[in-house]
């Protein structure tokens, strides 16, 4: 009986302690705003799985072979493999020369949890292929613009990370082995701010250590886009370089980029979006980003980061709701507004092209290709698919010629000095050398 009484007393104490702990936890959580947070699941009535989305895009391409083509690119590093789907839009694919057109590279889904960005990729491709239409858009005018473009679209850049999100890790933004793909580029790579969070910003073991980043680098260097846009969610903003410092570039490129963003913001977003450099507007600096690489190294004249949606009232633990609209009205508003903004950007890009072309000495558009470099402050032609410049080559050749002249001059001087010494030498030595 004594044992039973002790056991009952012990269990009663445990029960009282548990109730008290629960009460304290509830009270503390309530007072600190950390009471249990309802986690919003993926709304599969609105959002495709990555597999279904890519299948739908493939079907779209197969239905419109006159406008769309598709390729799958794979890369592997230390046992980790990534595959990327790239869709190319050219309204008249029968044309043999696309180099005379404005080239645009768009990437979506670089951060795995930002599902709305990949839905925008699908919507935009549907509009380009004329299976979907936006209100108040004159199709004949749009088609005249599209005739001047070649667009490459990466619908899901981070497919492996996206798979983790679909498996339930709704806050995951990194790739399949825990690297933030937007910190894995070479410009200012690896620098860590005081608030660095490895879960959010792990840059990898080295620049371009990740197959996804390797694929995107090769794509950018081979395609040589005039316009680059990296599409994200988390807020509503239109960013230009730089991300790793709180300033924008100097000169003509900066002015043109800012002008484009201000026009898009005013027409489509009622001046609601943040505009400026990513580093100066977000509130923190980001190192090793894709946009800074595209502008500084790949020499893309106009490099942007678009942030298309963000619920700033959502809990930081409720990642799906924070980064993606959860109701159909918001979902369609985001896709329609940003699709319209992209079409407007295409039109502005062609207008800028025509304005620069009129300033060029020659009238052929081939000469405008060198205006890639004019926009960057360099009046020179591209030398190769890897962005080497003729001016750089010329400067190198000038240096070689200079060094060669110095070498010849030095040789002559040395020969003169040698001959002078010979003339002062004794005759036997001279006779010996002449044999």
DSSP 182-216: GG-SSTTTT---TT--HHHH---SSTT-SHHHHHH
Taken in order 143, 144, 147, 151, the sign of the CA dihedral is negative
pLDDT at 26 over 50: no
What confidence score (pLDDT) does residue 406 get? 52
Taken in order 263, 265, 270, 271, the sign of the CA dihedral is negative
Choose among 227, 214, 219: nearest CA to 71: 219
Choose among 159, 153, 71, 77: nearest CA to 111: 159
Pairwise CA distance, residues 350 & 371, whole Å: 13
pLDDT digits (tens, 9 = 90+) for 61-86: 999 999 999 999 999 999 999 999 99
Task: Supply the angle between the helices 159-166 and 115-128 in degrees, to the nearest 10.
Answer: 120
Token pair, residue 359, equals 């300033």
What confidence score (pLDDT) does residue 195 get? 86
Distance of CA 245 to the CA centre of its chain: 17
What confidence score (pLDDT) does residue 365 get? 40
Helices and strands of the chain, counted as H and E runs:
16, 8
- For 119, how many CA atoms within 13 A lie in the half-sphere containing its CB? 27
Residue 234 pLDDT level (bands cut at 50, 70, 90): very high
Pairwise CA distance, residues 120 & 132, whole Å: 12
What confidence score (pLDDT) does residue 378 get? 36
Helix, strand or coil for residue 123? helix
What confidence score (pLDDT) does residue 375 get? 47
> What single DSSP character describes residue 37?
P
Other Cβ atoms less than 10 A from the Cβ of 329: the count is: 8
What confidence score (pLDDT) does residue 371 get? 43
Sequence-ordered list of residues with C-beta below 8 angstroms from that of 338, at least 6 positions apart, any chain: 120, 268, 306, 308
305 near 110, Cβ under 8 Å? no
> What single DSSP character describes residue 181?
G
Q: What share of the chain is helix, strand, coil (3-state, %, to 5)?
A: 50, 15, 40
Of the listed ranges 14-28, 32-46, 212-226, 282-296, the least confidently predicted one is: 14-28
Bridge-based pairing state of the strands 102-108 and 302-309: unpaired
The C-alpha angle with vertex 323 and arms to 276 and 134, in degrees rounded to 5, equals: 75
Strand partners, 389: 382
What confidence score (pLDDT) does residue 6 get? 56
Strand partners, 309: 235
179 near 203, Cβ under 8 Å? yes
Choose among 249, 269, 243, 242: nearest CA to 342: 269
Choose among 95, 143, 103: nearest CA to 368: 103
Bridge-based pairing state of the strands 68-77 and 80-89: antiparallel
pLDDT digits (tens, 9 = 90+) for 242-255: 999 999 999 888 99
Pairwise CA distance, residues 340 & 375, whole Å: 25
- Average pLDDT of span 81-93: 94
Is 307 designated active site?
A: yes
Residue 307 pLDDT level (bands cut at 50, 70, 90): very high
- 114, 157, 172, 307: which is the annotated catalytic residue? 307
What confidence score (pLDDT) does residue 429 get? 33
pLDDT at 208 over 90: yes
118 near 156, Cβ under 8 Å? yes
Return the higher-pLDDT residue of 213 and 408.
Answer: 213
Strand partners, 149: 102
Strand partners, 83: 74
53 near 155, Cβ under 8 Å? yes
Sequence-ordered list of residues with C-beta below 8 angstroms from that of 222, at least 6 positions apart, any chain: 385
Return the higher-pLDDT residue of 139 and 425.
Answer: 139
Pairwise CA distance, residues 329 & 313, whole Å: 18
Of the ranges 34-43, 246-255, 326-335, 350-359, the best mean pLDDT one: 326-335
Pairwise CA distance, residues 139 & 370, whole Å: 31
pTM score, whole prediction: 0.77
pLDDT at 389 over 90: no
Token pair, residue 414, equals 């040395």
Return the higher-pLDDT residue of 406 and 433.
Answer: 406
Q: What do you get for the CA distance between the two ends of the chain, in Å?
A: 127
């Amino acid at each position: 009986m004594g044992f039973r009484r002790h056991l009952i007393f012990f269990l009663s104490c445990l029960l009282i302690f548990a109730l008290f702990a629960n009460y304290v936890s509830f009270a503390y959580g309530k007072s600190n705003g950390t009471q249990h947070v309802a986690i919003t699941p993926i709304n599969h009535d609105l959002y495709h799985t990555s597999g279904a989305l890519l299948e739908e895009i493939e079907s779209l391409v197969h239905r419109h072979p006159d406008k769309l083509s598709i390729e799958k690119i794979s890369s592997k590093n230390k046992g980790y493999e990534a595959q990327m789907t790239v869709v190319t839009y050219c309204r008249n694919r029968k044309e043999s020369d696309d180099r005379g057109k404005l080239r645009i590279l768009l990437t979506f889904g670089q951060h795995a949890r930002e599902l709305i960005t990949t839905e925008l990729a699908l919507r935009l491709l549907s509009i380009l292929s004329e299976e979907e239409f936006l209100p108040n858009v004159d199709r004949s005018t749009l088609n005249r613009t599209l005739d001047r473009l070649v667009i490459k679209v990466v619908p899901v850049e981070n497919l492996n990370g996206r798979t983790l999100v679909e498996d339930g890790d709704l806050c995951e933004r990194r790739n399949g082995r825990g690297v933030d793909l937007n910190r894995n580029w070479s410009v200012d790579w690896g620098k860590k701010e005081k608030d660095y969070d490895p879960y959010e910003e792990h840059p990898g073991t080295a620049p371009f250590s990740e197959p996804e980043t390797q694929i995107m680098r090769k794509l950018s260097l081979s395609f040589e886009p005039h316009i680059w846009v990296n599409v994200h969610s988390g807020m509503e903003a239109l960013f230009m370089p730089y991300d790793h410092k709180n300033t924008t570039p100097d000169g003509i490129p900066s002015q043109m980029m800012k002008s484009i963003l201000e026009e898009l913001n005013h027409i489509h977003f009622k001046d609601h979006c943040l505009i400026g450099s990513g580093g100066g507007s977000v509130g923190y600096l980001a190192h090793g980003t894709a946009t800074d690489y595209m502008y500084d190294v790949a020499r893309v004249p106009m490099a942007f980061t678009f942030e298309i949606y963000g619920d700033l009232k959502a809990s930081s633990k409720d990642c799906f709701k924070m980064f993606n609209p959860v109701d159909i009205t918001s979902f369609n508003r985001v896709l329609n507004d940003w699709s319209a903004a992209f079409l407007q950007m295409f039109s502005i890009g062609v207008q800028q092209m025509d304005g620069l072309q009129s300033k060029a000495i020659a009238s052929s558009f081939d000469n405008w290709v060198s205006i890639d470099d004019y926009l960057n402050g360099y009046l020179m032609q591209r030398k190769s698919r890897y962005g080497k410049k003729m001016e750089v080559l010329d400067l190198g050749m000038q240096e070689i010629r200079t060094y060669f002249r110095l070498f010849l001059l030095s040789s002559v001087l040395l020969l003169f000095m040698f001959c002078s010494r010979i003339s002062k030498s004794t005759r036997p030595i001279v006779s010996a050398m002449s044999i």
